[in-house]
Structure formats: structure tokens, C-alpha cells
Amino acid sequence: MRAVPIVKFVQEEDRVEWLVADLLPSVGFTLFVGRKGIGKTTFAIQLCAALQAGTSFLGRNTLQRNILYIQADSVDDEWRDILRRVAPDSRGYTVVDVPSRCLDIPEHTAQLQDKIQKVQPGFIVFDSLYNMSARPINTEAVQIPVNIMIALTKGLPWLLIHHPPHHESRASGHHSLGAKCSNEWHLERNKLIIDKGRLVKTKEILITRDARGLWCAREDKHEDDDLMHKELI
């Protein structure tokens, strides 16, 4: 704790460290929202693969971090197929065979804690909230699994995959869920919207998917118009 004259404090250098340049800081938790089938898991895997290898993500520099992807949303065969397509050579770790509602059962939570301690990751993904807890998301009880994840990560940056209500962009559930996160991302077909993230200057990143279904940066702002024209035709 320190008392600093504002005129001097604002002249100090920023201390934030970016895992993904000007997009993902190395602190706090990111709430990652998008409708079912939009490609959230693919996006999250690509992010993890880039961090693990220290390679660029959406054209942005990354800091190398060992990753742990906790998969509670897909059966093994489906998950293996996705990884073969998106990141078959990644040296990161994934937790599989995760029991449903694992964050509601102390024994399973302890097992997750053990996996995290063994892997010692620098970034963690939880996929997804609905399958990891049966707590009612429309009440403050949704903070219980979130607080458990905060305890499990122990200050590490992490990402939680979640869904919006039908025909809406916000995260499903009680407002405390969004209030708890440091960053909130909303994935759409052609852009990533930064709904929350005070340190992030660009609030909308144009993206698209290549022939393999992988996400990549897009600079052509007229692509949407072209797609719309093709759909009309």
C-alpha cells in the first residue's frame, strides 16, 4: 500500500503483461460467451495452442505459457477429433473424463486441484459452466462454482466458456457472473466483441474462418457485405 501524488502516478510505466498482445492480460478471468455451435471451443483451443507454442494468435504476439484445457463439454471421441483437427501437435495438457457437475462435488474438485498442481499451467480453460455445476445460474449461487474456479487457479489467468440466452449477446445467468470477470468476450460469426476489459483498447476484432474451420484475423471490413450479398443471391 502506498500514497502517491496523482501527477506522478500517471507518469509511471504500465505493469500489465499481455498473454495475447492488447487482448488477453496475464491476470483475472475471462468469460467467453457465444451461441451454441458458433465455434467457441475451436477458438479456445487455438488460443491455447498459440500460448503453448508462443506463436501468434489472430495476428497478435503471445507470451509462451503452458496451458491446461479442462474439457467437460464433450465425450472423449468427439474431443479427440476436435483436437486432431485444430491442434494435433500441441504440447499442452487437457483434462478428460471430467464428471458432470464436478465443481459441486468436493471429491471431484480435489481431483481437479491435483491435476492443476501436477501440470503447473500458466493458463487454464474451463469448458463449460453448464456441465461443471448444477448451481442455478440465475441467482447469486452461480458465484459458488466461479469462486471454486478462482480458488483452483490461485491467481492464474483463466477462461470460462459459457452461453448467452436465446437471441441475446450477454452471458446467461445472474448479473454477478459478468461482474465477477475481468474480461468478457462475445464470439460472433465475423467478430470477437470485447464487452468488458478496461485495458483492452480495441473493443471489436474482425475474424473469419478458413477452409479448415479455424479462426483467423480479418482486415476486409467489406466481407460482411459480400457475404450478405451472396446470401441474398
User: Where residue 191 sits, what CATH number does that domain have?
Assistant: 3.40.50.300
Q: Which residues contact 121 (CB under 8 A, 6 or more apart)?
A: 65, 66, 67, 68, 92, 93, 156
Q: Is residue 189 part of a domain?
A: yes
Q: Which domain holds residue 140?
A: 26-232
Residue range 87-94: mean pLDDT, rounded: 98
Q: Is residue 11 part of a domain?
A: no
Question: Residue 72's closest CA among 114, 132, 160?
Answer: 132
In one-letter notation, the amino acid at residue 209 is: R
Phi-psi region at 154: left, alpha or beta (left = phi > 0; alpha = psi -120 to 50): left
Q: Is residue 49 part of a domain?
A: yes
Q: Is residue 104 part of a domain?
A: yes
111-168 pLDDT, tens digit each:
999 999 999 999 999 999 999 999 999 999 999 999 999 999 999 999 999 999 877 8
Q: Is residue 158 part of a domain?
A: yes
30-60 pLDDT, tens digit each:
999 999 999 999 999 999 999 999 999 999 9
Structural domains in the chain (count): 1
Q: Is residue 19 part of a domain?
A: no
Strands (DSSP E) along 100-146, which ranges? 123-127
Q: Is residue 186 part of a domain?
A: yes
Q: pTM of the prediction?
A: 0.91
Write down the pLDDT at residue 198.
Answer: 84
Q: Is residue 88 part of a domain?
A: yes
Number of DSSP helices (H) and strands (E) in the chain, helices first: 8, 11
CA-to-CA distance for 128 and 163, rounded, in angstroms?
9
Question: Residue 20's closest CA among 148, 197, 168?
Answer: 197
Q: Which residues contact 5 (CB under 8 A, 6 or more apart)?
A: none
